[in-house]
Chain A
């Protein structure tokens, strides 16, 4: 039975987050890249993750070769963290709406970092996480973990 994210999880994933996606390359090396936006589907059974194709080429290559995907999303202010895993993922077209989602997520992330004392974050992140070479990945999660730091990290919250 497919996994359905809770409304709280969906809201969290579309909030102010630091996010990274990982995969395993054909050569067996794990790889990771920063993601820059999440859009949860209306039925909460899938989500679209946005990342820079230029910065994340190794991850995209690994996914194209059949690797599973891991997404870790954390709120800088609270450290509340979710991890989602899926056996398969697929590229989808980058729409104007997704591009706007990415711009909003990057701006929110930068503003939160600035509020935490990293004053140059807004400008720097806009340069690093530009929307020029966005790639969009559709993920149907198989499992969701609580990854908030602490002994409970790794607790399974939902499973397909």
Chain B
């Protein structure tokens, strides 16, 4: 039976070093180690181009090479006859390999040495097993069964908050994932709209998390930064199989404005495996599902495939929920007691719409602006019941005309308040409707 690249994907995760044999124009052979042999598709692999080496000099002159890769669990060796096609120095494949190389570099103690200059793409012409008498490694857990189990636990969801929580909880049943988060894209007004499939810049905000001491709700990730930001910007999955010392991919992912008040991401300080998959439906990107583990090589190729499908399913559910009409009426309001106690000092900073309560940072951006608007309405005329439709029309709020993610921002705000300022609460009273509950007097001020 002819060997396929799919059948040997376990060899292409950077676990054990591969070697590449090339030929100089004068016929002299060359053998060198390859840090990374990356599965591109069923017919292509990409080798990391890090230095101007003899290997590179040779393939540019004579494009035929043989690559030897090893299956980590069995140590079977496979030899691939390949032909060099081209080098990519930007784009999704390059970014994926750059992230993976960061993990491989740390795993092999080469943090300061491995820097990706390009992804050299090769067509695979033939695959040979050098050890046909050696039993194959035991197959990994069936990712399709894991996906099915995950979807069974996800079930149907009525609103975005429920979907976010259940989408994460279901992962533990299906894939055994213990640490994960959902970060949703904050669409920028200038870049959203019909015909524009996504922002050139912007940020993602953590809406829900699983398995961390703090929820990190509201934590921000700049588009293109860290594993989550790269997965969002490139709209592709990114998986790292080893702990990385590269700060770019570490827990302390950079935020859009490093000087601003921020909520830390709740990720593991010492993750050994990480994966980020985009949540997409059609051309629309909703956000990123990020999962991690303390174990090396926790996520295999098949897990990546399955989680990509899961990301699309969750994206489709988000699109369906976003398209549902708002309820016409809210559930009746119960009688409330007048706010009592010491007034809460709520201060608003207009330049970034940040809100501080008793000098503690609460939230910023559009969510901060929404909160400030609601509190002022409440202070002016005692209003408690609001609907999404009126917020969308409110000129005080910096919402884009299209794809405003208002529901996401309200959930974010609701959860942030529940964690940091339970004296102010947002309660859902129907689809597209919510109620403001305030149990302490408020002292509002602006800066």
Query: Across the interface, do B134 and A128 meet the contact criterion of CB distance under 8 Å?
Result: yes
Complex interface bits, B28-44 against A, C-beta within 8 A gives 1, otherwise 0 = 11111101000000000
Query: Across the interface, do A68 and B27 meet the contact criterion of CB distance under 8 Å?
Result: yes
Residue of A nearest to B68 (CB): A32
Query: Across the interface, do B29 and A68 meet the contact criterion of CB distance under 8 Å?
Result: yes
**Chain B: interface residue total (CB-CB under 8 A):** 41
Query: Across the interface, do A22 and B21 meet the contact criterion of CB distance under 8 Å?
Result: yes
Binds B, one of A5-13, A95-103, A119-127: A119-127
Residue of A nearest to B105 (CB): A149
Q: How far is the CA of A18 from the CA of B75 in the complex (A)?
A: 13
- Tell me if B113 counts as interface (CB < 8 A to partner A): yes
- Tell me if A117 counts as interface (CB < 8 A to partner B): yes
- Nearest CB in chain B: distance from A73 CB, A: 10
Known: A124-B75, A150-B113. A32 touches B131 (CB 8 A): no
The one of A30, A81, A150 in contact with B22, judged by C-beta atoms closer than 8 angstroms, is: A30
- Tell me if B65 counts as interface (CB < 8 A to partner A): yes
Residue of B nearest to A148 (CB): B113
Complex interface bits, A112-134 against B, C-beta within 8 A gives 1, otherwise 0 = 01000110110011011000000
Residue of A nearest to B79 (CB): A32
Query: Across the interface, do B31 and A128 meet the contact criterion of CB distance under 8 Å?
Result: no
A34 to chain B: which residues have CB within 8 Å?
Answer: 68, 77, 130
B23 to chain A: which residues have CB within 8 Å?
Answer: 24, 28-30
A-B contact count (CB 8 A): 110
Q: How far is the CA of A149 from the CA of B22 in the complex (A)?
A: 17
- Tell me if B114 counts as interface (CB < 8 A to partner A): yes
- Tell me if B81 counts as interface (CB < 8 A to partner A): yes
Residues of chain A in range 1-47 having any CB-CB distance to chain B below 8 Å: 18, 20-24, 28-34
- Nearest CB in chain B: distance from A56 CB, A: 9
Residue of A nearest to B31 (CB): A22
- Nearest CB in chain B: distance from A63 CB, A: 10
- Tell me if A55 counts as interface (CB < 8 A to partner B): yes
Query: Across the interface, do B109 and A79 meet the contact criterion of CB distance under 8 Å?
Result: yes
- Nearest CB in chain B: distance from A47 CB, A: 16
The one of A22, A33, A55, A128 in contact with B30, judged by C-beta atoms closer than 8 angstroms, is: A22
A31 to chain B: which residues have CB within 8 Å?
Answer: 21, 66, 79
A124 to chain B: which residues have CB within 8 Å?
Answer: 74-75, 134
Q: How far is the CA of A113 from the CA of B66 in the complex (A)?
A: 24
Residues of chain B in range 44-63 having any CB-CB distance to chain A below 8 Å: 50-51, 53-54, 62
Q: How far is the CA of A22 from the CA of B16 in the complex (A)?
A: 19
A127 to chain B: which residues have CB within 8 Å?
Answer: 134
- Nearest CB in chain A: distance from B74 CB, A: 6
- Nearest CB in chain A: distance from B115 CB, A: 10
- Tell me if A48 counts as interface (CB < 8 A to partner B): no
- Tell me if B110 counts as interface (CB < 8 A to partner A): yes
A79 to chain B: which residues have CB within 8 Å?
Answer: 108-110
- Nearest CB in chain A: distance from B241 CB, A: 12
B79 to chain A: which residues have CB within 8 Å?
Answer: 31-32
Known: A68-B28, A149-B35, A153-B53. A30 touches B16 (CB 8 A): no
Most buried by A among B20, B28, B50, B296: B28
Complex interface bits, B70-82 against A, C-beta within 8 A gives 1, otherwise 0 = 0011111101010
Residue of A nearest to B71 (CB): A124
- Nearest CB in chain B: distance from A123 CB, A: 9
Known: A20-B68, A29-B81, A30-B66. A67 touches B29 (CB 8 A): yes
B110 to chain A: which residues have CB within 8 Å?
Answer: 79, 149
Known: A29-B64, A32-B79. A118 touches B31 (CB 8 A): no
Residue of A nearest to B75 (CB): A124
Q: How far is the CA of A113 from the CA of B75 in the complex (A)?
A: 11
Most buried by A among B22, B32, B62: B32
Can you identify 20 A-B contacts, CB atoms within 8 angstroms? A18-B17, A21-B31, A28-B64, A29-B64, A29-B66, A30-B22, A30-B30, A31-B79, A32-B19, A32-B21, A69-B29, A70-B29, A83-B30, A120-B75, A127-B134, A128-B131, A128-B134, A149-B110, A149-B113, A153-B53
Chain B residues near A (Cβ < 8 Å): 16-17, 19-23, 27-33, 35, 50-51, 53-54, 62, 64-66, 68, 72-77, 79, 81, 108-110, 113-114, 130-131, 134, 296
